[in-house]
Amino acid sequence: MANDPLSQFQIKPIVDMFSVGGMDFSFTNSSLFMVAAAGTVSAILFAASRSASLVPSRIQSVGELWYEFIANMVRQTMGSDGMKFFPFVFTVFSFVLMSNLLGMFPYFFTVTSHVAVTAALAVFIIAMVVVVGLAKHGLHFFKLFVPSGVPIAILPFISLIEIISFLSRPVSLSLRLFGNMMAGHIVLKVFTGFVVSLGALGIGGIIGALFPLAMGVALTAFEFLVAFLQAFVFAILTCVYLNDALHPGH
């Protein structure tokens, strides 16, 4: 792998399949790691639920913790009737978390470091919010953009700001995840790249290389934290936005 920090994000086709209307539908390294993330999640959860016992085995308690964590989050943000969205939130969280964590392996591709992936997830979530809101409240849902008790003269301006604020949700949701993952991997690559280039400079360089090496170790730990935290933030914002559509009373 090249020593420049951006080559790790390159998308390379693995299997050339077909292209429709100028769009390339090849199976790429990104697709491979999406499949890997979904497969790993399924494998862990299958192993966790295969032999359920009253006293859980280690893998079973991993599955139980995982379930409980998301179930509690959904209940706290959406209430008990929000549990009908639990499968969706659980899927989103698991996919993002496993993509982030798989990206931490050396030479692995980080799916969530591409804005196309995170934007697709975010747009899907916001589309779901709009559909659920319209189904539950009808046209009354658009009252979201019309504050009450505002003088009619400045109402168009306020509505415009509210609409922009609503439209910025998928943007901030996707940019945050993408930005954190990409920036983290670049910083990691730059610092560990210093180790290699300093190490080539003889004995003084090797001593000097210890500092970026220590930084690389610290950043790796930090990146694991960010990988989990961003998956958590993504999932909890999904819950918050769905809660707006579901019961706006809160």
Residues 211 to 240 in contact with other proteins, rule: CB under 8 A = 228-230, 232-233, 236-237
Q: Does 115 bind other proteins (CB under 8 A)?
A: no
Q: Which of 27, 105, 157, 222 binds other proteins (CB under 8 A)?
A: 157
Task: Compute the least distance from the CB of residue 98 to other proteins, in Å.
Answer: 18
Alpha carbon distance 68, 72 (integer Å):
6
Cβ closest to other proteins, residue 87 vs residue 147: 147
Cα–Cα distance list, 131 to 83, 125, 176 (Å): 17, 10, 24
Residue 93 contacts residue 74 (beta carbons within 8 Å): no
What is the total count of residues that contact other proteins (CB under 8 A)? Answer: 42
- Site for other proteins (CB under 8 A): which residue of 67, 86, 124, 145? 145
Contact 104, 220 (CB under 8 A): yes
Least Å distance between CB 93 and other proteins?
13
Would you give the distance in Å from CA 102 to the centre of its chain? Answer: 12
| 77 sits near other proteins (criterion: CB under 8 A) | yes
Cβ atoms of 227 and 97 within 8 Å: the answer is yes
DSSP 64-99: HHHHHHHHHHHHHHH-GGGGGGHHHHHHHHHHHHHH
- Mention every residue, 6+ apart, whose C-beta is less than 8 A from residue 6: 186
Tell me if 180 contacts other proteins by CB under 8 A: yes
Q: Can residue 148 be called a binding residue for other proteins (CB under 8 A)?
A: yes
Residue 71 contacts other proteins per CB under 8 A: no
From 168, 183, 201, 210, residue interacting with other proteins (rule: CB under 8 A): 168
* CB-CB contact of 146 with 167 (8 Å): no
Nearer to other proteins, 7 or 168 (CB): 168
Choose the stretch contacting other proteins; rule: CB under 8 A; options: 4-12, 38-46, 70-78, 189-197.
70-78
Answer yes or no: are the C-beta atoms of 205 and 199 closer than 8 Å: yes
Per the listing, tokens 């999640």 go with 41
Q: Which residues bind other proteins (CB under 8 A)?
A: 75-77, 137, 140-141, 143-149, 157, 160-162, 164-169, 171-172, 175-176, 179-180, 228-230, 232-233, 236-237, 243-245, 248-250
